[in-house]
């Protein structure tokens, strides 16, 4: 009987990457292994939550959309062809559900991150200046056309490669790069005018 590779074993031996481990977990999930599914949820839920939150602007709605994304991934595991990483596939599901939620509920409102979302505290005036700049940037990003907004958020906030962004945005890698370029140019222009 072959021993299963645990995340700790993988981290210690370096014999596989997270993407390879995700594939192993996905195969187990396809066979009905709920533990494998739980491991994938634990591994990706935080990043998916923050990605979804940037669209729905509310913790409760973001949690609902994230849960729906994982349920959809569980239900459609057999349909995953493996052309991309599990993370990319999951992000695409989550983004589509988030956009549907926003469209269906008409919520394109600006919202502030709560304290639990803040990564660190900056004292005094500097914190106020940074908060104002961040708010202006969020508002500017929200004015971008949907495809440009998606590309910017995936590239900047999620740190995805243009190849991964293209897969999630359902476009070519060159189109993802072009959308990113035009979005950055538009943001610089808009934020330059705000000063």
If DSSP codes are grouped into helix, strand and coil, which group holds residue 55?
A: helix
Query: Could you tell me what percent of the chain has a pLDDT over 70?
Result: 75
Q: Which CATH architecture has domain 11-108?
A: Orthogonal Bundle (1.10)
Pick the CATH number of 119-195 from 1.10.3720.10, 1.10.10.10, 1.10.10.60, 3.80.10.10: 1.10.10.10
Is 70 exceeded by the pLDDT of residue 55? yes
Return the sign of the alpha-carbon dihedral for residues 93, 97, 103, 104: positive
- Exposure of 78 in the CB half-sphere (CA atoms within 13 A): 3
Reduce the DSSP state of residue 195 to 3 states and report it.
coil
Handedness of CA 52, 55, 61, 65 (dihedral sign): negative
Where in the sequence of the chain do the CATH 1.10.1740.10 domains occur?
11-108
Residues of the chain with CATH 1.10.10.10: 119-195
Owner of token pair 């370096």: 14
Minimal CA–CA distance to 52: which of 138, 153, 143, 145?
Answer: 153
Nearest-angstrom CA–CA distance, 137 and 54: 13
The confidence band for 74, taking pLDDT boundaries of 50, 70 and 90, is confident
Q: Element (H or E) spanning 26, and its range?
A: helix 18-30
Torsion of CA 44, 50, 51, 55, to 10 degrees: 150
Instruction: Say yes or no to pLDDT of 123 above 60.
Output: no
Global pTM reads 0.61
130-146: average pLDDT: 78
């Amino acid at each position: 009987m072959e021993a299963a590779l645990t995340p700790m074993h993988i981290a210690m031996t370096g014999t596989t990457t997270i993407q390879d481990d995700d594939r192993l977990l996905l195969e187990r999930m396809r066979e009905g292994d709920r533990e494998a599914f739980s491991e994938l949820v634990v591994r990706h839920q935080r990043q998916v939550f923050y990605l979804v939150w940037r669209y729905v602007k509310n913790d409760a709605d973001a949690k609902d959309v994230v849960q729906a994304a994982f349920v959809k991934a569980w239900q459609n595991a057999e349909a995953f062809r493996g052309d991309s990483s599990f993370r990319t596939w999951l992000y695409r599901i989550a983004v589509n559900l988030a956009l549907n939620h926003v469209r269906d509920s008409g919520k394109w409102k600006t919202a502030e991150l709560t304290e639990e979302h803040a990564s660190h505290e900056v004292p005094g005036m500097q914190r106020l200046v940074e908060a104002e700049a961040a708010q202006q940037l969020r508002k500017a990003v929200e004015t971008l056309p949907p495809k440009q907004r998606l590309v910017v958020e995936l590239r900047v906030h999620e740190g995805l490669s243009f190849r991964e962004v293209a897969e999630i945005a359902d476009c070519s890698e060159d189109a993802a790069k072009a959308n990113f370029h035009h979005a950055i140019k538009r943001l610089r222009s808009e934020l330059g005018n705000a000063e």
